[in-house]
Structure 1
């Protein structure tokens, strides 16, 4: 039996149709593959971006909190420094003896200050900046019981008094700074031994004293 002759033109047409089918099939598969992978890739990228954004927000919040804490600490330190620089102890190396408000035969009324037992000649310092308004024997004008004494006027109508001094080293009208040496401690006036009698007053005169230890404590100074 003789083979049927196929024309070259018909053969070429069949091959072209087959090739087109392959291309279409491959294209559909590739499209399907991208369609399957694209949502997953986009979802992963979104999650990474969200995690990064959250981490950045947390870092900013932590930095802001640390900055606020640092600022608060700086303000507290500045406030404490301001308090301690405004007021100071009148002597160093002391022993507290007679306290404010103590009664007894040593005083016509209750004790009007705080006594700091120190050896004669111990430097006495201004407890705060101010102006000397009294300085001299006879309690600087407050009476012989105080011996040699000084009174300094400070801000807000507050006065400090230093008594039983062996030597006065300032003059009336003189301006002094906090912790400046103003005298040497002693045993003059009505005194049972070397010490500094220290008062805080609301006026320059005897009879207006307040508890000096409580006053200094409120100002940030512990004695």
Structure 2
């Protein structure tokens, strides 16, 4: 009886073994659950870490800032183009005014009579200039700045049909001629300015009445005339 009692005392009880197994299992479950929870909190379904709210907000802000800068740059470029176009238009307008001021009609008050290219008994060929009908003694002025290259009777060397005449050379390579004058106020080699008085109108040479015969030429001599009305329009002078 004594031996049996000792054996019973040293053997662990069934209840103790069962409790230990349950405790170990519970601990493992808790540990496994925590690991699973930790893993699910740091990766998504694809196994990648999701962006935080602050990172997404920063990305949106950066995009908005870039778009704003691009819009501002485009607006600045458009404003510059508009400014350049306006300046170009103003410069063109100023140039037109300057050209208009640098060329003038040779007389102030007049009536247009015979025009360039018309026929008539008074001319060997077609009319080579534009006639301005004015009374004898009307001041005649230089149509543009230049140098006197012809001045005198006999058309200044172009023939008696022109009467007293003057030819002015201009910097653009053109020449202006003034004929049928009653008086010449300049000399060959003299420099004149736009609007400067150079003569008085008359009725000398082959003339049917008081007027100024005006030509634009490509050389100082007869036979190189251009349409003076068209030329004056090209330099913004209306007649």
Question: Which residue does 2:145 correspond to in 1?
Answer: 129
Residue 200 (str. 1) matches residue 206 (str. 2): no
Deviation per CA, 1:139-178: give whole Å up to 9, x if none: 2222222222111112254221101122211111111112
Question: Which residue does 1:57 correspond to in 2?
Answer: 73
Report the 3-state secondary structure (helix = DSSP H, G, I; strand = E; otherwise coil) of the residue aligned with 2:183. Answer: strand
Q: How many angstroms apart in 2 are the aligned matches of 1:181 and 1:139?
A: 18
Alignment RMSD: 2.6
Q: How many angstroms apart in 2 are the aligned matches of 1:108 and 1:37?
A: 99
How many equivalent residue pairs? 190
TM-score, normalising length: structure 2: 0.68
Residue 146 (str. 1) matches residue 165 (str. 2): no
Q: How many angstroms apart in 1 are the aligned matches of 2:163 and 2:68?
A: 77
How far is the alpha carbon of 1:93 from its aligned partner? 2.2
Q: How many angstroms apart in 1 are the aligned matches of 2:120 and 2:159?
A: 19
Residue 118 (str. 1) matches residue 134 (str. 2): yes
Residue 184 (str. 1) matches residue 200 (str. 2): yes
Determine which of 92, 107, 132 is the counterpart of 2:108: 92
Q: How many angstroms apart in 2 are the aligned matches of 1:140 and 1:54?
A: 71
How far is the alpha carbon of 1:83 from its aligned partner? 3.0
Q: How many angstroms apart in 2 are the aligned matches of 1:152 and 1:56?
A: 57
Residue 105 (str. 1) matches residue 105 (str. 2): no
Deviation per CA, 1:67-90: give whole Å up to 9, x if none: 211331243134324433443221
Deviation per CA, 1:79-109: give whole Å up to 9, x if none: 3244334432212222211011111112222
How far is the alpha carbon of 1:202 from its aligned partner? 2.2
Q: How many angstroms apart in 2 are the aligned matches of 1:218 and 1:193?
A: 29
Residue 77 (str. 1) matches residue 112 (str. 2): no
Q: How many angstroms apart in 1 are the aligned matches of 2:114 and 2:161?
A: 15
Report the 3-state secondary structure (helix = DSSP H, G, I; strand = E; otherwise coil) of the residue aligned with 1:155. Answer: coil
Deviation per CA, 1:36-88: give whole Å up to 9, x if none: 86467546644653553244224312321122113312431343244334432
Larger CA Rg, structure 1 vs 2: 2
TM-score, normalising length: structure 1: 0.73
How far is the alpha carbon of 1:129 from its aligned partner? 1.4
Determine which of 166, 174, 189 is the counterpart of 1:173: 189
